[in-house]
């Protein structure tokens, strides 16, 4: 019996329980709910200080966007020959971040990876906020975001009397990203409902009861409910899996379907998807290490969860490194002089520093994770998660800016420099992202209680109910 085998102390070291600290169902409810139920003055001061900081950065974003609307898109540094620059770099960067959330919640669910339950809620929330940040850039690049709906979506109108060009990958992108945001939000909310019901049943104040009762939709955890819920959850996971692969593939079509050397390659879709998962996992890592520390979630987000994530970072980082090499090889092997020049120029041209930054952060740094000690060292992985995201931002910048800045005609070569508005807007999106995440971590259950309890029930040894499982604890040494 697997339950008994797991109690062998030697095997326990190899395959420890996913939830530490001998928690039972009641402990899970209390530990997770108490974070959201804490009174304002009970929340640590460091939380409010952090929120004030991120809120200020969010205000910077608001100011920068207002400045852009007032003055026009010219306040960004995009100009010939680099017509797409930081805006689309940031867009791809943020969309990529989001992909880890869907990977954790959907793909790992389909693969029955039980360790996902401690981290899926926060990763999904992160997806939502990252996609919001991403959406800001194309939306404001239109210059008139309040009219953008007519340009982006096929809404019959007398305003323009035109339709979108469905042969353009940019319109595919609109559909991909808006579908992604919608489905991620629905998936996240569906998972949240049983936990909101838990909070509703624990709520003390009238206002809390009404608000939570409203959002819990009257969930009772009936077997009939769970039957439809599980079917629906499986369907949503099954839909999200191809969806997440399609989103970054479509994002890469924005480049791959053009005829610019350095962009026009068939390797882009898988390479973009791997890069997205790579950067997204790094971002989940950064956020979880902070939350784990601030909210005392060590027993739920264990070293095993973090190590598994580092393994995924190692795999996807290696895929990304392999893709860089393939790209370079094909540029040489194609015999196309423009293609060859672009790649030579990337590594040794004026943007050499960006290229080597990308190579160091994305190809070399994840290789440290072959070492188990480093994979399990929290300070190391925290630094590494940030390094990876720096590298992945540079990857998008390198692909976009270096391919554009020296095109076919040397007379129109140029060098892109971001303006202060470019830089402040990008920093500002971190304000939006972190503010939303902090609010989420404080006011909603950050760990999916119902799912963690399901895992606990599975790992019976961690669940010591009177009478039933006590015996198996005692029996264990005999079997071992």
Partner 1 sequence: MPSPQNSAAALEELKEKLGIGADKTHAAIGSFETPEALVEAGKKIYAMGYRKLDAMSPFPVHGIDDAIGIPRSILGWIVICFGLLGLFTAQGLMYYVGVVNYPLIIGGKPLFDFTFTVPVTFELTVLFSGISATIGIFALNGLPQLYHPTMKYKQFHRASDDRFLLVVDADDPKFNAEKTSADLKSLGAQDVEVVVG
* Interaction site with partner 1 (CB under 8 A): 24-26, 29, 154, 162-167, 169, 171-172, 175-176, 179, 182-183, 186-187, 189-190, 193-194, 197-198, 200-202, 213-214, 217-233, 235-236, 239-240, 242-243, 246, 250, 253, 449-451, 453-454, 457, 463, 465-466, 468-469
Distance of CA 418 to the CA centre of its chain: 25
Query: How many whole angstroms separate alpha carbon 257 and alpha carbon 244?
Result: 20
Residue with tokens 């540094």: 77
Inter-residue contact 373 to 413 (CB < 8 Å): no
Q: C-beta of 102: minimal distance to partner 1 in Å?
A: 12
CA distance to 78, 225, 351, per residue, from 358 (Å): 22, 48, 11
CA distance to 136, 163, 185, 275, 478, per residue, from 447 (Å): 28, 44, 16, 26, 36
The residue among 246 and 419 lying less far from partner 1, judged by its C-beta, is: 246
User: Helix (H, G, I), strand (E, B), or coil: what is residue 23?
Assistant: coil
Distance of CA 116 to the CA centre of its chain: 14
The residue among 220 and 372 lying less far from partner 1, judged by its C-beta, is: 220
Distance of CA 475 to the CA centre of its chain: 44
The residue among 163 and 415 lying less far from partner 1, judged by its C-beta, is: 163
The residue among 12 and 231 lying less far from partner 1, judged by its C-beta, is: 231
Q: C-beta of 108: minimal distance to partner 1 in Å?
A: 18
Closest CA to 438 of 61, 57, 51: 51
The residue among 225 and 304 lying less far from partner 1, judged by its C-beta, is: 225
Q: How many other CB atoms are there within 10 angstroms of residue 319's CB atom?
A: 17
Q: C-beta of 296: minimal distance to partner 1 in Å?
A: 20
The residue among 27 and 307 lying less far from partner 1, judged by its C-beta, is: 27
The residue among 124 and 422 lying less far from partner 1, judged by its C-beta, is: 124
Q: C-beta of 406: minimal distance to partner 1 in Å?
A: 25
> Judging by beta carbons within 10 Å of its beta carbon (0-12, 13-18, 19+), is residue 38 exposed, middle or buried?
middle
Residue 81, preceding peptide bond in cis (omega within 30° of 0): yes
The residue among 56 and 168 lying less far from partner 1, judged by its C-beta, is: 168
Q: C-beta of 300: minimal distance to partner 1 in Å?
A: 15
Query: How many whole angstroms separate alpha carbon 20 and alpha carbon 95?
Result: 33
The residue among 169 and 350 lying less far from partner 1, judged by its C-beta, is: 169
CA distance to 163, 210, 400, 410, per residue, from 338 (Å): 35, 64, 16, 12
| Cβ neighbours for 369, distance < 8 A, ≥ 6 positions apart | 310, 311, 313, 314, 317, 375, 384
Q: C-beta of 26: minimal distance to partner 1 in Å?
A: 4
Q: C-beta of 178: minimal distance to partner 1 in Å?
A: 8
């Amino acid at each position: 019996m697997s339950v008994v085998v797991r109690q062998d102390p030697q095997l326990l070291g190899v395959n420890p329980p996913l939830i530490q600290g001998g928690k039972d169902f009641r402990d899970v409810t209390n530990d997770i709910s108490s974070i959201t139920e804490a009174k304002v003055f009970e929340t640590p001061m460091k939380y409010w200080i952090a929120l004030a900081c991120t809120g200020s950065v969010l205000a910077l974003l608001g100011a920068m966007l207002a400045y852009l609307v007032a003055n026009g898109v010219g306040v960004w540094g995009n100009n010939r020959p680099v017509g797409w620059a930081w805006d689309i770099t940031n867009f791809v960067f943020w969309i990529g971040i989001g992909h880890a959330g869907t990977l954790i919640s959907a793909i790992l669910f389909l693969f029955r990876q039980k360790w996902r339950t401690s981290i899926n809620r926060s990763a999904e929330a992160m997806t939502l906020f990252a996609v919001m940040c991403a959406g800001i850039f194309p939306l404001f690049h239109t210059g008139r975001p309040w009219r953008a709906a007519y340009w982006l979506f096929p809404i019959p109108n007398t305003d323009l009397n035109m339709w979108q060009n469905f042969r353009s990958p940019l319109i595919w992108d609109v559909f991909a990203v808006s579908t992604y945001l919608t489905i991620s939000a629905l998936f996240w909310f569906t998972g949240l409902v049983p936990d909101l019901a838990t909070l509703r049943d624990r709520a003390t104040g009238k206002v809390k009861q009404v608000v939570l009762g409203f959002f819990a939709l009257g969930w009772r955890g009936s077997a009939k409910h769970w039957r439809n819920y599980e079917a629906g959850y499986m369907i949503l996971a099954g839909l999200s899996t191809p969806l997440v692969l399609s989103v970054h593939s479509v994002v890469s079509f924005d480049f791959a379907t053009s005829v610019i050397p350095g962009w026009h390659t068939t390797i882009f879709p898988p390479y973009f998807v791997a890069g997205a998962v790579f950067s997204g996992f790094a971002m989940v890592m950064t956020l979880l290490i902070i939350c784990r520390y601030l909210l005392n979630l060590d027993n739920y987000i264990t070293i095993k969860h973090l190590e598994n994530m580092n393994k995924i970072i190692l795999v996807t980082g290696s895929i990304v490194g392999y893709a860089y090499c393939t790209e370079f090889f094909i540029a040489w092997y194609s015999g196309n002089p423009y293609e060859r020049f672009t790649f030579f120029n990337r590594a040794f041209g004026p943007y050499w520093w960006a290229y080597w930054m990308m190579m160091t952060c994305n190809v070399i740094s994840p290789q440290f994770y072959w070492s188990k000690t480093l994979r399990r060292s929290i300070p190391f992985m925290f630094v590494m998660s940030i390094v990876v995201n720096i590298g992945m931002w540079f990857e998008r910048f390198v692909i976009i800016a270096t391919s554009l800045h020296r095109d076919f005609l040397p007379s129109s070569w140029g060098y892109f420099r971001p303006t202060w508005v470019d830089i402040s807007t990008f920093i500002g999106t971190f304000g939006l992202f972190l503010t939303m995440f902090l609010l989420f971590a404080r006011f909603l259950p950050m760990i999916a209680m119902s799912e963690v309890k399901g895992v606990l029930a599975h790992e019976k040894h961690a669940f010591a109910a009177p009478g039933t499982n006590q015996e198996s604890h005692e029996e264990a040494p005999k079997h071992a």
